[in-house]
Amino acid sequence: MTGKLPHALRSNAEMEICMFRRRTRADRAFREAQRAGQELLAMHSEWPAPDLASPAAPTAPSPSDFLPPDFRAPSRQDVEGFMMRWDLPLVIDGEVHACHCGAYRNWIVFNMRDDSVWLRCEAGHATEEPRLDTAWYNRNSLPVDAFHPTLEDGLRHLGH
């Protein structure tokens, strides 16, 4: 009859009995699950080990596995570097970078194969900027949209 009484009318002793019954049921279910897992592991340990023959040596891909030459993008080692426009004032370490001619915007930023970063103003003055690196260039550049055979072609493409 105590199981049918509302929660508020039960005595403390009845509450403790119900609490321990729930805990006992949960403990029993946990132990049964553990036993089932141990039986499963024991069953798997009796199975024979798979035959792991040494895999065949990887073969070099044939030229037909690659894209045709017209569809291949040049790798980083195939080009002298990358370039992008930087029209806003270039702030490095909290200060606006300016060229010795007074230009402080409309830069062309070059990221060379040796991971150096060079800046070129509209007047054509180019200087290496050691405070910038390839990681900075990659964070701030867009995907490559064109490849150019000469520096002049690239500058023309960027509007310089």
31-59 pLDDT, tens digit per residue, is 888 888 788 777 766 767 666 666 666 66
Give me the pLDDT at residue 10, please.
64
Distances (CA, A) of 146 to 73, 84, 138: 10, 11, 16
For 127, the 3-state DSSP assignment is strand
Give me the pLDDT at residue 27, please.
86
134-148 pLDDT, tens digit per residue, is 899 989 988 887 888
Single-letter residue type at 77? Q
Lowest mean pLDDT among 4-8, 23-27, 99-103, 155-159: 4-8
Distances (CA, A) of 96 to 2, 90, 103, 104, 156: 81, 6, 11, 7, 26
Length of the chain: 160
Give me the pLDDT at residue 11, please.
72
Position 96 confidence tier, pLDDT thresholds 50, 70, 90 = very high
Alpha-helix runs per DSSP H in 51-123? none
Paired residues of 95 in beta bridges: 92
Residue 2 has pLDDT above 60, yes or no: no
Give me the pLDDT at residue 60, please.
66
Token readout for 36 is 């089932």
Judge contact between 108 and 83, C-beta under 8 A.
yes
